[in-house]
Amino acid sequence: MPAEFIKEKCGAVRDNISKVIIGKEKEIDLILAALLAGGHVLLEDVPGTGKTILAKSLAKSFNLGFSRVQFTPDLLPQELTGINFYSPKTGEFEFRRGALFTNILLADEINRATPRTQSALLESMEEKQITVDGVSYALAAPYFVIATQNPIETQGTYPLPEAQLDRFVLRLSLGYPSTDESVNMLKRFITDDPYAELAPVVTAQELAEMQKEVKNIYVHNDVLRYIVDLTEATRRSEKIKTGVSSRGALVLMRTSQGCAAVNGKDFVTPDDVQKLLPYVFPHRMMTLTHRAGLLGEIVDDIKRAVAVPTEVWPEK
């Protein structure tokens, strides 16, 4: 599958979603890179910025199954994974599937559910399967979780533990639209519903082939070393209590491959790595002091301090 094919398909999805979500092409590309890399995304933003409609539009663009679960303190793990129930008609226990049995799951306000319920997502996000009463059930591919949380409101919430945060390859924010973008959005929704008019532009089979091809995106040894150097720099920083793990380095490589694919390249450059750095590293680090914006500053310092490969030549 040529790189231009992936770029063309990602462009079609971006343009399709942009019919509903205006002015967020960069964020859409990041989400597509995560999807191609086989990862999951955490969206942190205030309510009303388009997180839900973006997830629904993504699913519709690929013609994939979609489930939205509103996470609340009384949400039970069984509602996500499923449950074995006794059927008087058959006289046997039957398995009733939960909300996780889908392609794209929107876990809305994930931090409002209890840690027990949050943990029900761990196996599905990592192993792409669910185990209930000792029996494992494989999830249909692709399986992609988009979780949301409000970074400002903390009352009645349960902060995501580090193990849960580490399952998300990217953490990003959509942010508010500009003035012109807001005006254009209002114009579109005066008489029409753009989401209702969306049609699939990429098949599930094409997406599966794209995800497979992304793993073959070339990564030079110098770029691999650059990723490792950036990772190790987080562990040496005096401002950081816990640095980025080996999984974080692997995620940075995979999402960089996804980023290269979205842009129609068949190789990863240091620019791809730097582009993903602010979305891959911060939520995997723990600082000694808590201050707004500190993690971003540390990542910027590390990016400036670590030497960037200047020339990348194909290996012989």
Concatenating the DSSP letter of every residue in 20-34 gives TS-S-HHHHHHHHHH
Whole-model pTM above 0.75? yes
The Cα 207–Cα 205 span in angstroms is 5
Which residue do the tokens 């995620």 mark?
251
| Cβ neighbours of residue 40 closer than 8 Å, sequence gap 6 or more | 34, 125, 144, 145, 146, 147, 167, 168, 169
Could you tell me the two tokens for 169?
Answer: 């390859």
Residue 314 pLDDT: 54
Q: State which residues of the chain have pLDDT below 70.
A: 1, 292, 311-316
In the prediction, which pLDDT does 316 show?
44
3-class secondary-structure state, position 275: helix
DSSP character at residue 112: G
Q: Which residues contact 160 (CB under 8 A, 6 or more apart)?
A: 42, 110, 111, 118, 149
Angle between the 246-262 and 204-214 helix axes, to the nearest 10 degrees? 120
For 45-164, strand residue ranges (E) read 66-70, 82-87, 92-97, 104-108, 129-132, 135-138, 144-149
7: left (phi over 0), alpha (psi -120 to 50) or beta: alpha
Rounded Cα distance between 79 and 101, Å, is 11
**Model pLDDT, residue 193:** 83
What was the pLDDT predicted at 260? Answer: 95
- Give residues with Cβ within 8 angstroms of 275, minimum separation 6: 256, 259
In the prediction, which pLDDT does 77 show? 92
- Residue 49: strand, helix, or coil: coil
Residue pair 73/112 in contact (Cβ under 8 Å)? The answer is: yes
State the pLDDT at residue 288: 72
Please classify residue 274 by burial: count the beta carbons closer than 10 Å to its beta carbon, then call 0-12 exposed, 13-18 middle and 19+ buried: middle
Could you tell me the strand order of the sheet in which 104-108 lies?
Answer: 66-70, 104-108, 144-149, 41-44, 170-172
pLDDT value of residue 286: 84
Structure tokens at 82: 């499923």
Q: In the prediction, which pLDDT does 311 show?
A: 66
Cβ atoms of 10 and 32 closer than 8 Å: yes
List phi, psi (to 5°) of 206: -65, -40
Q: Which amino acid is at 25?
A: E
Residue 304: the pLDDT is: 92
Concatenated DSSP letters of 204-264: HHHHHHHHHHHTTSB--HHHHHHHHHHHHHHHH-TTEEE---HHHHHHHHHHHHHHHHHTT
- Could you tell me the domains of the chain? 38-175 (3.40.50.300), 215-305 (1.10.8.80)
